[in-house]
Amino acid sequence: MSVTITMPQLGETVTEGTILTWVKQVGETVAEDEIIVEISTDKVDTEVPSPASGVLTEILVGAGETVEVGTALAVLSDDGGDAADASGDDAASAPVDETSAPHAEPVSADAPSGTPAAEQGEPGDTSRRGVLSPIVRKLANENNVDVAMVRGTGDGGRITRKDVEAFIANRQSGSAPEAAPTPPAPAPAPAAPSVPAAQPATEATPPPPPPAPAPVAAGGGGEVEEISRLRTRIANNMVNAKRNTAHVWTSVEVDFERVEQTRSRHKAAFKQAEGYSLTYLPFIIRATVDALNAYPVVNSRFDLEAGTQTFNRSVHMGIAVDLDQKGLVVPTIRDADSMTLKGAARAVRSIATKARASELGPDDYAGSTFSITNPGPFGSFMSAPIINVPNSAILSTDTVAKRPVVVEMPDGSDAIAVHHVGYLGLTWDHRVFDGSTAVLFLNRIKTNLETWDWEQELS
């Protein structure tokens, strides 16, 4: 009896995943709920447990391949089948994890006919060339690629996503793509020379493996390093957001003096009770939630292709979290519109701590209706962030600092005072609403921060 492991649904919005590493290899025993594979999605990297116990008899999708949810990844057998006890030719045909299992350096088609197949990297093995993942098939169709011309580097000659992308890149650069390998015709064995009995005449010495690649020195004396998976996801998301939305930026100046006075009175007691400092961000979240309720179009989702606009009933707040300068992620605080100021502070603290400890799953990064990024603690003056698609807008909260402002005295005269002042910037999608809405929305937040009785929020 066997069990087929498929690509799981790792989140409500996740449709595909990339195999990072097979933790278990063919022939190894796997316990139920034991981690068997690591998968990367557009949201986060995830360890996937085995749904059953057994022996891993076949790996259907190699490391580095991207497949859709529901695609068969591997096969478990309760007795291990024939793969666990295979030897000779059967063992050579068993799939392996290309990222961790050692393999011989491929030899060109001109290698002596006496060289064993394993030492040649089995260039004639095309038993799995026709096995294409949905992602590979879609990529080939969209780019008018004849897969018969693509060299497959996967197990059994299987064509991977990287193979198709390399073919497309070669075609665009004008270089001749390398055709798919075909098994060479058997050549008559040459006459065996006189050799010592300890070394058969038909056995050739395989070439030594290449040395491990060293960092490539850049022209300016630096080193070239591989881009991390997180940075790749960020890069793709940012480019797609700029390409598919009409970005406009608007800002307002906010007098945070009333907020600052409340913080000063309660910060010692708050830190003693909660274990962390009371920042400006929870105040801004509370003021923003009210503004989103007043201007629901800012909290909407716009789908031009479908011809629809969804006005969200709840506010699910995305909060940008810096991972110690190694990347930026945006987990979601669900139902932020139902939270008090203390509740918002606790929620921000919780998701930031879990994000930095890699304790959040794909669903924790999905479903936001509006987002806030907070570069202020790093000393920013004004920021114009990129929209966290599919949101229609994102708010930036910059540094609050003491500045001279004009205030009206009780007798109606004006005076100069030193207040805590900061700037709020809104990047918004001009396809969804217009400048008047953006300014009114920002001024609603500004008015809330400057006039609300914040004392009752912490009492």
Respond yes or no: is residue 430 known to be catalytic: yes
CA 286 centroid distance within chain: 29
- Look at residues 41, 46, 38, 5 and name the one whose alpha carbon lies nearest to residue 22: 38
**Helices H, strands E: what count in the chain?**
9, 21
Kindly state the DSSP code that residue 436 receives in the 8-state scheme: H
Q: How far apart are the first and last CA of the chain?
A: 63
Backbone angles phi, psi at 135, to 5 degrees: -65, -45
Task: Please tell me which residue in 79, 266, 430, 453 is annotated as part of the active site.
Answer: 430
Q: CB-side exposure of 458: number of CA atoms within 13 Å?
A: 23
Q: Would you state the structure tokens that stand for residue 455, as one six-digit string?
A: 């004392």
Q: What residue type is assigned to position 103 of the chain?
A: H
HEC letters along 237-272: HHHHHHHHCCEEEEEEEEECHHHHHHHHHHHHHHHH
d(CA 370, CA 350): 19
d(CA 126, CA 166): 19
Q: Would you state the structure tokens that stand for residue 288, as one six-digit string?
A: 């923003």
39 and 61 in contact (C-beta within 8 Å)? no
Respond yes or no: is residue 316 known to be catalytic: no
DSSP for 191-218? PPPP--TTS-TTPPPPPPPPPPPPPEEP
Kindly state the DSSP code that residue 396 receives in the 8-state scheme: E
Task: Enumerate the active-site residues.
Answer: 430, 434
